[in-house]
Amino acid sequence: MSLLDDTIASIEAPDAEAARGAGARLDALTKPPGSLGYLEEIVRRYAAIRHDPAALAGRGMITLFAGDHGIAAAGVSAYPQAVTVEMLRNIGAGGAAISVLARRLGFDLIVTDVGVATDTSAAPMTGVRYRRMGAGTRNFLEGPAMSLGQARSAIEVGIETAREARANGATLIGIGEMGIANSTPAAAILAALSEVAPARLAGRGTGIDDRGLGRKIAAIEAGLKIHRASFGDGVSLLAAIGGFEIAAMTGVCLGAAAVRVPVVVDGFIATAAAAAAEKLRPGLREQMFFAHRSAEGGHALALEALGARAILDLGMRLGEGSGAAIAMSVIQAALALFHEMATFASAGVSRKIE
C-alpha cells in the first residue's frame, strides 16, 4: 500500500465524546453558557479532531509550498512567472507578510519548493527546502498539468510534511502557498468539484484587468472541457488541472488528519487543496478549520459548497498562509480561554441568581 493510500485508510472521524467532554468544561467556566460564541465551537471541534477532551495544545506550524504553472502562458496573471522565485527568496529570508506573522505570532514556518520554474536547489536559498516535482506544471490547455505519478508524489510530500510537523510537536498546522497564476488552477479545481460556473469563481488574482479576467475565465472553461474525463478521483483531477503546491497542501490536509492534528486552511487557493482532499477522503472537511473568507473570486461560494464557516473576514487575498496564521492565533486564544479561565466552582462564583 502506498503512503497516500495508507494515510487515507488511517484517517478516523472526529471524536464526538471528546467534543462533549470539552463542552462540559466550557459550560463550567465563569461566563454565561455559549457567550463566547464561535470560539466555543472552535474548542469543541479542536478537541474532537485531536480525540482529546482536555484539548491540550502544543506548537503551531505553518507549511508553505511554492510552485509555478504552465497556464501562466495563457496571460492569466498580472505578474511574470519570475516573481515566484523572487517571492520565495523573500519568504525564506524573512521579509514577506507570512514571515512577519509567523515571527510575531510564534509559529514555526516550513517553506518548501515543490516545483518553482527556476531551480535554485544547487545554491539553496535561506529558509527553503527542496522537494521538487519539476520546473513548474505544464499548460493544462495543452495536456495534463502533471503526470499521475507527479500528482501522487506531490501529495505525499504534503503528507510527509504533516507527519514531520506532528513529530516536532505541532498540534495545529496552517497551509499556504506561493505561485504566480495559481488562482487559475485553483478556480478550475473548485469549479470541477462544486459545479459553480468559472465566471463566478475566477477572480483578479494579482490584479489582472478586465481583458485578463476574460482570458482567465476562458482558460478555465476550456480546461474543464478538455479534462472532464479526469475528474472522477482526486489524484487524476490534480494531475489534469492542478499545481504541485496545491497537491502538496492536499497532502497536508490528509496527513494531518491521519495524525489527529487540525489543519487551518488559508484562502482561495488553499481551499481548492482542501476540496481536493475532501474528494480523496469524503468527510475530511470536518478535520479542518477555514481561516478566512478571501476577497479573491468566488471564495465565499467555494466555502458554501464545502459547508465550511470561515473564522475571519478581513478582505484579504494575499495567500502565503497569511490568513491561516491570523486564524491560528484566534484558535490559540480560544484554547487559552478554555484552559485558563476559572470555573464557577474554583472561583466561588454563583451560576445564577436565586
Query: Which residues are annotated as catalytic?
Result: 320
Q: Is 347 helix (H, G, I), strand (E, B) or coil?
A: helix
Q: What is the Cα–Cα distance from 53 to 22, expressed in whole angstroms? A: 5
- Written as nine digits, the cell of 69 is 504553472
| Count of all residues that appear for the chain in the document | 354
Backbone angles phi, psi at 47, to 5 degrees: -60, -40
Q: What is the Cα–Cα distance from 350 to 354, expressed in whole angstroms? A: 9
Using CA atoms of 290, 69, 75, 212 in order, give the dihedral in degrees to the nearest 10.
0
b/e 6-29 (16+ beta carbons within 10 angstroms → b): ebbeebeebbeebbebbbebbebb
Q: What is the Cα–Cα distance from 255 to 157, expressed in whole angstroms? A: 10
Backbone angles phi, psi at 138, to 5 degrees: -85, 165
63 CB-near residues (< 8 Å, 6+ apart): 110, 112, 158, 161, 162, 165, 173, 174, 175, 176, 249, 252, 321
